[in-house]
Structure 1
Amino acid sequence: MKKLTPIGLAVSLLFSGCATQNNEQALNAAYNSINAKQLSEHIKTIASNEFEGRAPSTRGEELTLAYLEKHFKSLGFIGGNNGSFYQDVPLVSIEASPDMTLNIAGKAYQYKKDMVMGTSRMSKLESIENSELVFVGYGINAPEYNWNDYKNIDVKGKTVVILVNDPGFATQDDTLFTGNAMTYYGRWTYKYEEASRQGAAGAIIVHETAPASYPWSVVENSWSGPQFGFQKENNNMDRVAVEGWVTLDVANELFAKAGLDFAKEKEKAAKGAYSVGMGDLTASVTVKSEIKKSISRNFIATLPGSSTPNEHIIYSAHWDHLGKDSSKKGDNIYNGAHDNATGTAGMIEIAEAFSMLPTKPARSITFLAVTAEEQGLLGAKYYAANPIIAANKSVANINMDSLNLLGRVTDISVVGAGKSEMDEYLARAAKSQNRTLSGDPRPAAGGYYRSDHFAFAQMGIPAMYSGGGTQAIDEETARYRKRMGLILRGCYHQPCDQFRNGWDLSGAIQDLQLFYQVGLDIADSKDWPKWYEKSEFQRKK
């Protein structure tokens, strides 16, 4: 080895120092390239009326995907599906006619006002006729919790009436299920799935705002109009014929007609597996549906890694929303600005930061924008069943759904906190912003089971879903949070979820920079984040 002279050594150290300084400057430039002005423009475009609410298999989908492809191509990303930016997702749209009534005990309950009914079957005509009503508590069959509401009753051919959420929320008992935090057993999707497995003819969920975590207007808007599902060879005939919701007022009335007190029956249902007949009450309803098959698409883009390109960090967000409601007067476009134009726009910002790095990360960075999240996480479920990147090559998932529009905070909320080592990576990144991790702000809402990361978790891939926080950085922000928080909650799944020039995007930028840093840290390491032992998810062998 050639020895350096003192002058040569000094020059070498000088160049080394310059290289280090230049690298730090480049890293800082990439981090700070995530900015509110660009994010705002992306959100404004994606949530514009021109994009028509971004329903799957519509003109809105075509515009959204073209917008994503344009930007990711310009940033040097390649199509993540063997060169293609798309993964076809075969869907079927089932749109129930609003011309229906639910008839029980001589009374006709009205569509949207009192109930919302539909079917998951690919059938133009489904009905229940004088179907015996049975209350099955929370409608849960969970051996691991020693709980089976169907244990002592045969519901074949009957219509089950079910409570939303799970018993832990009702009792706030940490030893019951997971206490205040909703499990998957509390989700409406599970309720219908289990009722179908039990052979029921119909399934009706009783809506209550607190345990559902949203008002009746969300049911009215989200489960009317076209409802998407997968195209299946059996035409979904293994599902109950009719499924839907009734308001709390209707439930109180029905239980009274059955000689029961709804509140007391609800208390019994929370104490242990429970079911009871509802006297001679029967339900009848006919659902006429328009069936349309279509192909929607997931979007996937990859920045290949510099040394281990076959290992991927996957960022996810759903690009879809509810589209248009042609039966609605006035503003009938569900723009979905917060949910989830923000997350979709955030993907572009993070991708740009990665594209600016002087040296590409060791591992590949992949962005997956999925379809039909609003219809039951369908795009993510399809990807999980047909993964483009194998689970054992997917190192971690970082999901973005409805970014923080409430300003800067000193903490960062973690939905499903304590499930995996992803919390630790996030905590280290947050420290650089002088922020600390806080728990799940709304555990009763079951957020960890309600967005696209859930599909990755079921594959065994550690998935992080976080953002926002509860501690405003100053009094002015606290006042803004109180005012804007009410607007955002009131506009969830409503036409008023529109882009607003007055949004404070500084909190969203904080979070996006954290998500970028977490992904970069894992991508440039040899670490494989793990699930904690107590988590219900583990990597598949």
Structure 2
Amino acid sequence: MIRFYSALIFMLFSLSLSGCAYRQIMVPEVTDGEFAAAYRNDLKTLASDEFQGRKPGTPGGKLTQEYLINSFKSIGLEPGNNGSYVQEVKLILSKTTATGITFVSSDSESLNIELNTHIISRIEGVDADLILVNKQMIFVGFGSESEEFKWHDYADIDVNGKIVIILRNHAGFAANDSSVLDRPSSAKHGYFSTKFKEAKSQGALGAIVIIDSTLSKSKFYWKRWVERASKGRNSLYDGEVDSSTLKLVAYFNLEKAKQLFAMAGYDYDSLLVAAQTPGFKSFDLGITLSGDFMREQTIYSSNNVLGLIRGSKRPDEVVIYTAHWDHLGMGEAVEGDSIYNGTADNGTGTASILSLARAFMAQPLPPKRSILFMGYTAEEMGLLGSKYYADNPVFPLGKSVASINIDMLNFAGETHDLIMFGSGKSDLDEYAKRAAKKLGMHVQDDLWPQERYYYRSDHISLARKGLPSMSMDTGIDSKEHGKEWGMEYHQMITDSIYHKVTDEYSEDLNVDGIMQYLQVVFDVGYTLANSSKFPNWKKDDEFRPIRDASRSKVRMEKTSY
């Protein structure tokens, strides 16, 4: 890797004399040597059994944070949070138990349900206990309310103080009909969070979503959901009391849901078709729910880890590289292995920010803008670390330049391409395309838009605050094996590695494609850090108004002095 650093130093020095733009720099090949060796060492260490799957709140999580802090120090980064390398994130673990969960029809037929077998639930709000006695059940289709799409599942139905039962995803997806909820913004109506938020706004006492795997492109394993739910749910702890009327949130096994509808005299498949039709009317199922639910809570802390290279000209303007350091920890043993090592997810991203930090520190001059390298905690618990930073940024987001998030790179080797999740959303696409072109590569659009990957990792937390945020993946068009093989490899990773104990480190893992990727994201960050431009979202993007407002506020503050 000496060859990489010396080549960059020489070219940057030459350009500083000539005044040429950085975009003309030829990015050297970095698939061998010191850089790749250091990357492998970090990856191997982070994914070792010693780190116990890097779960927040465990010894393995603490060890991971210490490793990042010590690495940042040895690389030469400043503390990224006002003299500290950490930003404390308070979390709360809630575990729900229940007895006597029973659905009863109008003719007194009953269906008994077991928690964490047939249904997964949690109590919302301040009360630790929730006793339900004969609460009415209302079927609200997909539970969507949208003036934009003229879709109103809650029209002409009173759900106040009642339990709503909801279909997964949204009507357009279920119907496979582009005329139904046909714009990209319709995707949000399929999110669980959107459904629960709408149920809350309608005054529902509880909301139950039926988990039908046919209503998602993702592989679904109910058993895995149950296993994770039995360990409890983590969320950010802010000490505030939720006084909303929604007290119960639950996910329902499909087979039991079909039995429930049959008991009420309805066929699930017929109702699914009906709910996809514009003008669908929600209705009372003639079923009641009873049950005693109890909640135990534990408050604990974890940390985002931050290291900084201070800019020489505009230090208050910050380019941010991020990756979540956490994984799933330890769980049920599979063939004798109980450690979810998380090599790909997200050892690859965590090792990447360390490698990028070394590359930037090797430059002869510091960047004009500051560069923040941040390892988020608790991504696997619901993007909690990034949500906390987005709500409590160390550096004002109006002055932050962009976020480049790295999450779960693959080991397919060198490719002709890289994949941009959320392609077409911001100016950052063009930065990546120019950087990739220098390597003879191209950046292609998201190949799996139905999976909504852009909305499923940490960059979305900052995006929702208006900061242009890039999420790019390693490619699938393998130089050695071709595109078809690459697609098969991607599917194999999804089916056989993702969130499984098989996501382990091996010396046979091919990091050559990751080295390509790191050259490109280094280029993007370097260009941004030595520019005076602020990239933005595209004109019609959902996050553009937020960014415009934050940048306008910064400009107004400057003129007020």
Number of the residue aligned with 2:102: 103
Equivalent residue for 2:533, pick from 527, 532, 535: 527
Q: Say yes or no: does 1:295 pair with 2:301.
A: yes
The verdict on how the C-alpha distance between 1:108 and 1:444 changes in structure 2, with shifts beyond 3 A counting, is same
Number of the residue aligned with 1:159: 163
Most deviating of 279-288 and 195-204 = 279-288
Per-residue deviation, 1:476? 7.1
Number of the residue aligned with 1:437: 443
The verdict on how the C-alpha distance between 1:302 and 1:522 changes in structure 2, with shifts beyond 3 A counting, is same
Per-residue deviation, 1:529? 0.6
Q: What is the alpha-carbon distance in structure 1 between the residues aligned to residue 334 and residue 281 of structure 2?
A: 39
* Amino acid in the other structure paired with 1:343: G
Q: What is the alpha-carbon distance in structure 2 between the residues aligned to residue 285 and residue 327 of structure 1?
A: 32
Report if aligned partners of 1:225, 1:325 keep a CA contact under 8 Å in 2. Answer: no
Per-residue deviation, 1:329? 9.6
Q: Say yes or no: does 1:214 pair with 2:219.
A: yes
Q: What is the alpha-carbon distance in structure 1 between the residues aligned to residue 240 and residue 70 of structure 2?
A: 38
- 1:375 counterpart SS class: coil
Q: What is the alpha-carbon distance in structure 2 between the residues aligned to residue 37 and residue 182 of structure 1?
A: 45
Q: What is the alpha-carbon distance in structure 2 between the residues aligned to residue 421 and residue 358 of structure 1?
A: 28
The verdict on how the C-alpha distance between 1:135 and 1:510 changes in structure 2, with shifts beyond 3 A counting, is farther
Per-residue deviation, 1:255? 2.1
Q: Say yes or no: does 1:73 pair with 2:78.
A: no
Q: What is the alpha-carbon distance in structure 1 between the residues aligned to residue 505 and residue 313 of structure 2?
A: 41
The verdict on how the C-alpha distance between 1:152 and 1:238 changes in structure 2, with shifts beyond 3 A counting, is same
Report if aligned partners of 2:478, 2:486 keep a CA contact under 8 Å in 1. Answer: no
* Amino acid in the other structure paired with 1:104: F
Number of the residue aligned with 2:193: 189
Q: What is the alpha-carbon distance in structure 2 between the residues aligned to residue 148 and residue 286 of structure 1?
A: 32
Q: Deviations over 1:418-459 (max 9, x none)?
A: 111111111111112222222212211222221111111111
Report if aligned partners of 1:407, 1:477 keep a CA contact under 8 Å in 2. Answer: no
Number of the residue aligned with 2:86: 86
Per-residue deviation, 1:386? 1.2
For residues 256-335 of structure 1, the aligned pairs below 5 Å read 256-272=262-278, 274-325=280-331, 330-335=336-341
Q: Say yes or no: does 1:371 pair with 2:377.
A: yes
Most deviating of 482-491 and 17-26 = 17-26
Per-residue deviation, 1:208? 2.6
The verdict on how the C-alpha distance between 1:199 and 1:267 changes in structure 2, with shifts beyond 3 A counting, is same
Number of the residue aligned with 2:467: 461
- 2:269 counterpart SS class: helix
Number of the residue aligned with 1:20: 14
Q: What is the alpha-carbon distance in structure 2 between the residues aligned to residue 169 and residue 50 of structure 1?
A: 43
Most deviating of 81-90 and 192-201 = 192-201
Per-residue deviation, 1:120? 3.9
Equivalent residue for 2:143, pick from 135, 139, 146: 139
Stretches of structure 1 that go unaligned for 5 or more consecutive residues are: 1-15
Q: Deviations over 1:464-485 (max 9, x none)?
A: 1111233222327854763574
Per-residue deviation, 1:182? 6.6
Number of the residue aligned with 2:132: 128
Percent of residue pairs bearing the same amino acid type:
34
Number of the residue aligned with 2:51: 51
The verdict on how the C-alpha distance between 1:496 and 1:130 changes in structure 2, with shifts beyond 3 A counting, is farther
Report if aligned partners of 1:316, 1:397 keep a CA contact under 8 Å in 2. Answer: yes
Q: How many residues of Structure 1 are paired with residues of Structure 2 in the alignment?
A: 525
Q: What is the alpha-carbon distance in structure 2 between the residues aligned to residue 283 and residue 536 of structure 1?
A: 39
- 1:196 counterpart SS class: helix
For residues 356-367 of structure 1, the aligned pairs below 5 Å read 356-367=362-373
Number of the residue aligned with 1:6: none
Report if aligned partners of 1:218, 1:493 keep a CA contact under 8 Å in 2. Answer: no
Q: Deviations over 1:29-58 (max 9, x none)?
A: 889778543333322222222222222222
Q: What is the alpha-carbon distance in structure 2 between the residues aligned to residue 512 and residue 210 of structure 1?
A: 37
Most deviating of 511-520 and 203-212 = 203-212
Number of the residue aligned with 1:223: 229
Most deviating of 363-372 and 482-491 = 482-491
Q: What is the alpha-carbon distance in structure 1 between the residues aligned to residue 438 and residue 169 of structure 2?
A: 37
Q: What is the alpha-carbon distance in structure 2 between the residues aligned to residue 18 and residue 58 of structure 1?
A: 44
* Amino acid in the other structure paired with 1:135: F
Q: Deviations over 1:362-391 (max 9, x none)?
A: 111111221222222121111111111101
Q: What is the alpha-carbon distance in structure 2 between the residues aligned to residue 384 and residue 364 of structure 1?
A: 18
Q: Say yes or no: does 1:414 pair with 2:413.
A: no
Q: What is the alpha-carbon distance in structure 2 between the residues aligned to residue 418 and residue 107 of structure 1?
A: 49
Equivalent residue for 1:404, pick from 405, 410, 414: 410
The verdict on how the C-alpha distance between 1:17 and 1:492 changes in structure 2, with shifts beyond 3 A counting, is closer
Q: Deviations over 1:255-280 (max 9, x none)?
A: 22222222232223233364523532
Q: Say yes or no: does 1:352 pair with 2:358.
A: yes
* Amino acid in the other structure paired with 2:14: T
The verdict on how the C-alpha distance between 1:17 and 1:77 changes in structure 2, with shifts beyond 3 A counting, is closer
Report if aligned partners of 1:166, 1:185 keep a CA contact under 8 Å in 2. Answer: yes
The verdict on how the C-alpha distance between 1:171 and 1:527 changes in structure 2, with shifts beyond 3 A counting, is farther
Q: Say yes or no: does 1:243 pair with 2:262.
A: no
Most deviating of 443-452 and 221-230 = 221-230
Q: Deviations over 1:384-405 (max 9, x none)?
A: 1111110111111111111123
* Amino acid in the other structure paired with 1:203: A
Stretches of structure 2 that go unaligned for 5 or more consecutive residues are: 1-9, 18-23, 105-109, 553-561
Report if aligned partners of 1:211, 1:445 keep a CA contact under 8 Å in 2. Answer: no
Per-residue deviation, 1:191? 1.9
Per-residue deviation, 1:239? 6.5
The verdict on how the C-alpha distance between 1:335 and 1:182 changes in structure 2, with shifts beyond 3 A counting, is farther
Q: What is the alpha-carbon distance in structure 2 between the residues aligned to residue 169 and residue 329 of structure 1?
A: 37
Report if aligned partners of 2:151, 2:278 keep a CA contact under 8 Å in 1. Answer: yes
Per-residue deviation, 1:330? 4.7
The verdict on how the C-alpha distance between 1:275 and 1:398 changes in structure 2, with shifts beyond 3 A counting, is farther
Number of the residue aligned with 1:38: 38
* Amino acid in the other structure paired with 1:262: Y
- 1:264 counterpart SS class: helix
Report if aligned partners of 1:299, 1:369 keep a CA contact under 8 Å in 2. Answer: yes
Q: What is the alpha-carbon distance in structure 1 between the residues aligned to residue 402 and residue 173 of structure 2?
A: 30
